[in-house]
Amino acid sequence: MEFQNTREFAKQLDAQDKLAKYRDEFIFPHVNGKQVIYFTGNSLGLQPKRTKAYVDEVMNDWAKLAVEGHFYADKPWWDYHERFCNPLSKIVGALPSEVTVMNTLTVNLHLLMVTFYQPTDKKYKIICEEKAFPSDQYMLKTQVKFHGYDPADAIVEIKRREGEHNIRLEDVLAKIDEVGDELALVLMGGVNYYTGQVFDMKTITKAGQDKGAYVGWDLAHAAGNIKLELHEWNVDFAAWCSYKYMNSGPGNASGAFVHEMHHNDLDLPRFAGWWGHNKERRFLMEPNFDPVRGANGWQLSNLPILSLAPYLASVEMFDEVGMDALIKKRDCITSYLEFILHEIDKEVDSTFEIITPSNPEERACQLSVFLHGEGRPLFEWLMKNGVITDWREPNVIRLAPVPLYSSYEDMYEFGQKLKEGILAT
């Protein structure tokens, strides 16, 4: 498609957009009395209007039924989480038995490492990417220290080449081969939070497992954003947050994946809790743990239903839309934003460097832009003038045109605001 930097062209794209109606499903903040252009769904998604009804339902059941809501609510609380299995499995490419909801993201990664990081004297190293999200770095360092290893030795980072912003697949594979028999675990972000680079999870998973290592993925920026096939890729485990692209609300519950090849291996270590116990015998209060055969067998406590309600509202919307339709619009609107950035770059005395890969296969719903010649004053001007974006040091703004609620006219209008902001600062 040959793009044009005009409002009329952007409106034409919106008129042809089959997902355009979902924009009205969301509540937008306002700045200076006008609805914002919202680019930070990669940090916190907007609130879906339908969410309130799901939360109100739980509140009403609690008021009317109290403890009996566990069994007699319209959506009984004791198996509320099971309603996620089918829609979530479609979002991440899994079997329904391979997904669950529980805790929050880093908690789930720690719990999954209880199972999938079992270091020995000869096999103890973990591979991750350079500039992983800080929470992952803290988690990995504390995990290896807990097992008595030195993080400087046990954690192997895959570096970017000099002068490059993204990590090459061949360098990941070479590092896996180099660590070899010492490799216990590969744990990376499926989409790098800083650059928006999407990793080849299928190829990396196979390479790690060929060395006898487990392979897991932090899918915080991937779930609900890119095409995932966790089951087919043979991924051992994964976890993701729900409040970014899946719009479940601040700090909300996490999703987790455990491949079915591990479901019946009762020798795998895990931290147990009664909500992971055999569902049919859970209320017999037996002393010995008999895990559910599936990802639900990694659950601990009964679940926070008030937190799950907004998440359920969201995954049911995803089920209506389907990932294929989301990805089709994601690729088009991200490309249009890229085009707008290049067009504005020609019109102003600045240089924008998009550090996200230009190949749609290697990026998702994010463009990270290095503002050469500009700085934080431009970011602050945009925020004060109704463009909600994200700043990352040293001089990068992250733009996430989320397909469920971003419009093509937003992309055009952003270009005009960006030009105005550059001239104003």
For residues 295-316, one letter each, b for 16 or more C-beta atoms within 10 angstroms of the residue's C-beta and e for the rest, the string is bbbbbbeebebebbbbbbbbbe
The CA distance from 268 to 289, in Å, is 13
Domains of the chain: 7-35+323-424 (3.90.1150.10), 53-321 (3.40.640.10)
Please say whether the beta carbons of 278 and 306 come within 8 A.
no
The CA distance from 394 to 390, in Å, is 12
pTM reported for the whole predicted model: 0.96
Contacts 24+ apart (CB under 8 A), 32-36: 32/385, 32/386, 34/386, 35/386, 36/386, 36/387, 36/388
Contacts with 167 (C-beta within 8 Å, 6 or more apart), sequence order: 129, 130, 158, 159, 160, 192, 197, 199
Cβ count near 282 (within 10 Å): 16
The CA distance from 23 to 407, in Å, is 8
Cα dihedral 414, 415, 420, 425 sign: positive
From residue 190, alpha-carbon distances to 198, 401, 402, 406 in Å are 6, 19, 18, 23
Backbone region of residue 254 per phi and psi (left: phi > 0; alpha: psi in -120 to 50; beta: other values):
beta
Tell me, what's the pLDDT at 131?
85
275-325, pLDDT tens digit by residue?
Answer: 999 999 988 899 999 999 999 999 999 999 999 999 999 999 999 999 999
Tell me, what's the pLDDT at 263?
97
Amino acid at residue number 24 = D
Radius of gyration (C-alpha) of the chain in whole angstroms: 23
Ranges of residues in the chain with a pLDDT under 70 are: none
Cβ count near 410 (within 10 Å): 23
134-174, pLDDT tens digit by residue?
Answer: 999 999 999 999 999 999 999 999 999 999 999 999 999 99
- Alpha-helix residue ranges (DSSP H) falling in 134-292: 134-146, 151-154, 169-179, 201-210
Q: DSSP per residue over 276-310, as a string?
A: GB-GGGGGG--SS--B-SSGGGG--SPP-HHHHHH
Beta bridge pairs of residue 40: 400
